[in-house]
Amino acid sequence: MSVRIGILTSGGDCPGLNAAIRGVARAAYQTLDAEIVGIRAGYRGLIDGDYQVMQQSQFSGILTMGGTILGTSRTPFRNMRVVEEDNVDKVHAMKMNYRAMRLDCLVTLGGNGTHKTANLLSQEGLNIIGLPKTIDNDIFGTDFTFGFHTAVDIATDVIDRIHTTAASHNRCMVIEIMGNKAGWLSLYAGMAGGADVILLPEIPYDIEKVAKVIEDRSRIGKNFTIIAVAEGALSLEEAAMKRKEREAAWQADEFYSVSHRVASQLEKLTNVECRTVIPGHMQRGGSPCAYDRVLSTQFGVHAAHLIKKGKFGVSVALKGNDIGENKLEDIAGVPKPVDLDHQIVKAARNINISFGD
């Protein structure tokens, strides 16, 4: 079976992208008479017709590489049908370039925004398969996304290292973990790193209850506190606001991040020195961990099997111990927040980790 496969990586980079690209390519070369077309810089490359026909040798030695050999960019879904100053009809351009590249199908590696655009293109008649990547682990229908476990390892290592300096200086340390809308990364890393408080977007926090944790620990001789806070964590007051009100309040705020705001408030309430740590994009960088290398490869191989079966309009997913798929129309744009009854949330509460509520 001869097939011409396009591959692109869209949105933020994360560990495992190259491993997944390699998995698709190697399985396609093994099971199909395949030609791989690499599309540069995500959907922007598909819009502009920026691509290259790949050689098999280009997929060697990339299993352990971070980033993406194809490059990536953010092309927001909300703008896909908007004709901007360049007068380019993006959807029309993508469809025309798909045909100009003589593609039989397109494999898109990305997060929620990528999947929404993938679904749009599928509804426009293109043969699309999605691969779920994001360190936020917030794509509906899959237990895990690739990139997540590596980011958990990195964030956990940060928390581990902060413990020693926190204890040495009798400080409260506030570590800001990535995760704007979903707190999976903060939950897992906070649990693994032994945080005393974990603040998530899904559980609005009361700053006075967080301060009480610090005071209670001091009372029993524990002279430091570790707080893992997701970048999208909200206080009770913020959660009660409408989105525009909240954004206006943030613009007027002297603090440029939630961790700085929380640290300042806690220092005033407790008189304990509070410092912040923001590992930021470090959580998205570097070589994927062993788990993500395996998961990325499995996802890529399954995508190749779906191509062989002619099954499109789907996104690959991990469901329990099995690799399967979901219809793009069923998962695109569907949120996957932390379930407040999730077993890890319950376990954290049972070992006296506070969520500030």
How far apart, in whole angstroms, are the C-alpha atoms of residue 14 and residue 135? 7
- Look at residue 117 and tell me if it is in a domain: yes
Spatial CB neighbours of 256, under 8 Å, sequence gap ≥ 6: none
- Look at residue 343 and tell me if it is in a domain: no
Indicate whether 94 and 6 sit together in one domain. yes
Find out whether 285 and 14 touch, Cβ atoms under 8 Å. Answer: no
- Could you give the percent of the chain with pLDDT greater than 70? 100
| Active site annotation includes 136 | yes
- Look at residue 100 and tell me if it is in a domain: yes
pLDDT at 75 over 90: no
Indicate whether 187 and 305 sit together in one domain. no
Indicate whether 244 and 130 sit together in one domain. no
Find out whether 115 and 332 touch, Cβ atoms under 8 Å. Answer: yes
Strand blocks (E) in the chain: 2-9, 33-39, 51-53, 105-110, 128-132, 172-177, 197-199, 225-230, 274-277, 314-319, 322-327
The single residue of 13, 86, 104, 136 carrying the catalytic annotation is 136
- Look at residue 354 and tell me if it is in a domain: no
Query: Could you read off the pLDDT of 151-163 as tens digits, one per residue?
Result: 999 999 999 999 9
Domain hosting residue 187, numbered range: 150-284
Q: Over range 181-207, report the average pLDDT.
A: 97
Q: Over range 251-260, report the average pLDDT.
A: 81
CA–CA distance from 344 to each of 18, 139, 140, 233 (Å)?
30, 18, 18, 18
- Look at residue 316 and tell me if it is in a domain: yes
Indicate whether 73 and 87 sit together in one domain. yes
Q: Over range 288-311, report the average pLDDT.
A: 98
Residue 109 sits in a domain whose CATH number is 3.40.50.450
How far apart, in whole angstroms, are the C-alpha atoms of residue 276 and residue 174? 5
Indicate whether 280 and 292 sit together in one domain. no
How far apart, in whole angstroms, are the C-alpha atoms of residue 91 and residue 47? 8
The reported pLDDT for the residue numbered 296 is 98
- Look at residue 349 and tell me if it is in a domain: no
How far apart, in whole angstroms, are the C-alpha atoms of residue 39 and residue 185? 30
Find out whether 35 and 53 touch, Cβ atoms under 8 Å. Answer: yes
Indicate whether 155 and 278 sit together in one domain. yes
Indicate whether 325 and 201 sit together in one domain. no
Q: How confident is the model at residue 208 (pLDDT cuts 50, 70, 90)?
A: very high
Find out whether 70 and 59 touch, Cβ atoms under 8 Å. Answer: no
Tell me which residue has tokens 């788990």. Answer: 291
pLDDT at 308 over 90: yes
Q: Is 128 helix (H, G, I), strand (E, B) or coil?
A: strand
Indicate whether 22 and 134 sit together in one domain. yes
Indicate whether 109 and 212 sit together in one domain. no
Indicate whether 271 and 295 sit together in one domain. no
Find out whether 9 and 24 touch, Cβ atoms under 8 Å. Answer: no
Indicate whether 43 and 141 sit together in one domain. yes
Q: What is the mean pLDDT of the chain?
A: 95
pLDDT at 253 over 80: no
Residue 277 sits in a domain whose CATH number is 3.40.50.460
- Look at residue 52 and tell me if it is in a domain: yes
Tokens (6 digits) for 118: 């993938």
How far apart, in whole angstroms, are the C-alpha atoms of residue 178 and residue 283? 8
Indicate whether 28 and 134 sit together in one domain. yes
Number of domains in the chain: 2
- Look at residue 346 and tell me if it is in a domain: no
How does DSSP assign 21-33, residue by residue? HHHHHHHHHHHSE
The reported pLDDT for the residue numbered 85 is 85
Buried b / exposed e across 62-80, counting CB within 10 Å, b at 16+? Answer: bbebbbbbbbbbebebeeb
